[in-house]
Structure 1
């Protein structure tokens, strides 16, 4: 297409170029270039025709509920991939879960609000409230089941889906566009009401889980990257599947809001120690600890160490992994409390180093034995030079403060090999071994790969 300001082009060519430019600009405004779905204004005319034909149409509003600002944690590319995944799943569900005539759209371009308009039932009859309730339930179950297949530390497991539905009824007195937008607002109000009730139910469920001590513990190995020897196991807490909590982050987030954070932390910690009593003596045990729990009187009392020792576990065997779910408010007080545990022989690890509260300046004060870098940095590091440079800087920083580096969230052989090449000392992730209620060994696929490769030089 000739340039608009090229003096050699004719007025007709300039007009055509301007029209093309205007078209592309309008398309960017009306079509979502991530999900490849149209925005609501694009499909309004089709919805108006459906209202004329069927008298009633249904709408489902589906939004992504982010937990702990996952886009900041994983990056916008990963969040865009999540939107693409949901859009693809919705398209696949048409004709299966969602039958009849259906229109998919985004509320507006670059949003994360999906709209599913059901124009008719499979028999071409008008939709009913009962039909929309049935479709909505099946839709959300299918989407949650699909996202639940991904690794627990991936972005797909860190978000929740929320939504509501409504019936839009034709009324010749009211402008059709207004009816459609009123129906969408009604679906959103239903979603907000449902979310409030769901949250209340989650708190009740959490109280029951704590009271009945229904938290289970799985273990995932942390290995020497050079030769696959297991250095430690991290204890990971799991709620009952039927409780409906998608991951531990959601569980602890709700616990903090409900004032149950310390009780849940105590239960997880005690279960970790109890279940780790069967672990071989030469392994260390990583136990996640909320920053607020460091001042917990029940944690600081001698009874806890005695409880550990009664299960054959000495403090020198345990690494307290400080999580980033809640920020450290007063570092002077926190450091004094932390020193109490270090004097007893506990070692300290900082999770998600370089993110959240865990700024490098703060880490320098904590002087942990281990620094853990998570999925956000590790994912696709083999093809992301900027991540490689960042990791090199963090490794150099760890060396200067005398800490060992652990890379979490390793999910592919390419990531594993890049991290080895960069001399990352320890690794953890699904490619190495999935969490299990026993103490899993390194996956056979990785062992075979290492046996077939040249040993890494120190």
Structure 2
């Protein structure tokens, strides 16, 4: 059997197929061909090529559909997919990214780019895709493993669980979910959260196996924050229902104690775990998989009840924060990519230091969920204006985050805010978040034109996050595009994200807008943003939000000095 990698080229234009084969000849590949989407899918499933090049517009099935079908199935999910199109607009590339495509080629082709990109995918896929009809040498677990913890996901261990249920007639289940996982990740970043999840999984594994030597620990979902412990009940002391509650309470306490000692810099209130338990009794008349998943559901439902109670408590806490105006205005620096000097600050709002709402994203997300967003926005603006009146603005820009729907609220005092900002022309930028659709773009644009006439600029938040943000860019002609964190994360290693960011940079130049990359957490993301021509940079890698605003020489000496050291 040949060791040469297989490359499938699927295009209904024979001349395109011939051209690509000519370009890729130096890579020493064997080629497969398909003239429509159904043929491409069938060949990919049977021959398992290393790379598939798919024209997005093919008969019978589009390239989008074939890509989605390959990525949705475990066996073919690791095949590298390159989408080919005659259009290179942001919507097409965003669709490809959402469907799981690995790269993108636009006609007419650049031969060097074709070779470079396919070669990179061949090198990356060498150890994860099996050539032709060769039987996989590695178990399926390698394809369904949670990256942060190294644990298998539930489908990987399902066959073993069925065997245990038949043999033992009973299985015990413990479900563990990290409390406030969104808040932890938003506050400390994804890299920190991955480490938090990894260490939590280690504690779960150690505690499970110390009590049940044959316990199976699995991640609920790859990239998630919850876990299952499956254990045999025969020969143990857990035959009584009360024993299950003891297991849950003991594990919860062990987790909290261990994680607080391992992460002493986190607030104690941020570290918590929901733990639910269940028992599966074997019933031969019911499909085994269904019995296992029903047991898992029972264990997680016990947690849901606790989560609902916690949400009610959090809603009471948030109402008290709004009523008593117990919030803090913070300022996160934004720097110029070209020279690392301070451009300005994003104005952020945090809850009280020892509350569940210290993180701004969690604070506003929960406020929207509980219909408290208007009250929170109003209090946040009031507190921000009070702080700003005490500062020498010193030629800095200040970005103020506002929900687009807030502008239509009859009670929302937007004109009072505009009045203050117009007294300080050129200093302020309204950063619009469009989580709720703008119903009348023309009326909204007229309002923004009024703001601009008073020296207030406009930014679109989360640019590149979906079709709605693209529509907003086209309709509102913003002065700034804030590139979504989802594109910035792992930007250095993902070509499709790089292409999307480059297109947004080019789009910004055409409408005379500046680009801002937010959520930069690593040196690699920082360098990638600079190389792609983004104008302004923001994120924890550069600087955390700060309560005290230092402008002038003190600001430059402290902040820029640390950035230069990082660079």
TM bin, normalised by shorter chain, reads 0.7 to 0.9
CA distance in 2, matches of 1:230, 1:116: 50
Map residues 345-356 of structure 1 onto 2, 5 A cutoff.
Answer: 345-356=455-466
Cα offset, 1:363, TM superposition: 0.6
Distance 1:419 1:257, change over 3 A: closer
Picking from 246, 252, 255, the partner of 1:130 is 246
Matched, 1:431 2:548: no
Picking from 338, 341, 344, the partner of 1:232 is 344
Distance 1:179 1:329, change over 3 A: same
Is the contact between residue 460 and residue 469 of structure 2 (CA under 8 Å) also seen in structure 1?
A: no
The superposition leaves residues 33-71 of structure 1 with CA deviations (integer Å, 9 ceiling, x where unpaired) of: 34542434423545777788xxx945225489997xx9x
CA distance in 2, matches of 1:412, 1:223: 16
Map residues 8-19 of structure 1 onto 2, 5 A cutoff.
Answer: none
The aligned counterpart of 1:291 is 404
Is the contact between residue 321 and residue 351 of structure 1 (CA under 8 Å) also seen in structure 2?
A: yes
Picking from 343, 357, 366, the partner of 1:254 is 366
Cα offset, 1:276, TM superposition: 2.9
CA distance in 2, matches of 1:36, 1:185: 20
Distance 1:22 1:383, change over 3 A: closer
3-state secondary structure, aligned to 2:426: helix
3-state secondary structure, aligned to 1:243: coil
The aligned counterpart of 1:94 is 205
The aligned counterpart of 1:42 is 160
Distance 1:254 1:404, change over 3 A: same
Is the contact between residue 222 and residue 428 of structure 1 (CA under 8 Å) also seen in structure 2?
A: yes
The superposition leaves residues 120-149 of structure 1 with CA deviations (integer Å, 9 ceiling, x where unpaired) of: 8xxx74344133123235547867998998
Map residues 7-156 of structure 1 onto 2, 5 A cutoff.
Answer: 21=135, 28=140, 32-34=144-146, 35-37=150-152, 38-46=156-164, 57-60=172-175, 62=177, 86=197, 89-95=200-206, 99-101=210-212, 102-106=215-219, 114-117=227-230, 125-126=237-238, 127-136=243-252, 138-139=254-255
Matched, 1:191 2:322: no
Is the contact between residue 308 and residue 314 of structure 1 (CA under 8 Å) also seen in structure 2?
A: yes
CA distance in 2, matches of 1:148, 1:443: 29
The superposition leaves residues 335-361 of structure 1 with CA deviations (integer Å, 9 ceiling, x where unpaired) of: 233233223321111111122465334
Bigger RCO of structures 1 and 2 (CA < 8 A, at least 6 apart): 1
CA distance in 1, matches of 2:283, 2:524: 61
CA distance in 2, matches of 1:218, 1:395: 28
Is the contact between residue 221 and residue 230 of structure 1 (CA under 8 Å) also seen in structure 2?
A: yes
Is the contact between residue 221 and residue 439 of structure 1 (CA under 8 Å) also seen in structure 2?
A: no
CA distance in 1, matches of 2:414, 2:451: 11
Cα offset, 1:437, TM superposition: 0.9
The aligned counterpart of 1:16 is none
The aligned counterpart of 2:377 is 265
The superposition leaves residues 10-41 of structure 1 with CA deviations (integer Å, 9 ceiling, x where unpaired) of: xxxxxxxxx994997xx538983345424344
Aligned length: 412
Cα offset, 1:400, TM superposition: 0.9
CA distance in 1, matches of 2:142, 2:497: 34
The aligned counterpart of 2:504 is 394
3-state secondary structure, aligned to 1:316: coil
Structure 1 gap segments, 5+ residues each: 6-18, 71-77, 151-156, 451-458
The aligned counterpart of 1:208 is 320
Is the contact between residue 464 and residue 487 of structure 2 (CA under 8 Å) also seen in structure 1?
A: no
Cα offset, 1:230, TM superposition: 0.9
Cα offset, 1:179, TM superposition: 7.7
Distance 1:445 1:308, change over 3 A: closer
The aligned counterpart of 1:366 is 476
CA distance in 1, matches of 2:317, 2:471: 39
Cα offset, 1:209, TM superposition: 1.2
The aligned counterpart of 1:218 is 330
Cα offset, 1:287, TM superposition: 0.7
CA distance in 1, matches of 2:407, 2:282: 62
3-state secondary structure, aligned to 2:512: coil
Is the contact between residue 381 and residue 387 of structure 1 (CA under 8 Å) also seen in structure 2?
A: yes
TM-score (structure 2 length as normaliser): 0.60
CA distance in 2, matches of 1:296, 1:252: 17
TM-score (structure 1 length as normaliser): 0.72
CA distance in 1, matches of 2:485, 2:265: 17
The superposition leaves residues 303-356 of structure 1 with CA deviations (integer Å, 9 ceiling, x where unpaired) of: 4345668xxx62532111112333323322322332332233211111111224
3-state secondary structure, aligned to 2:376: helix
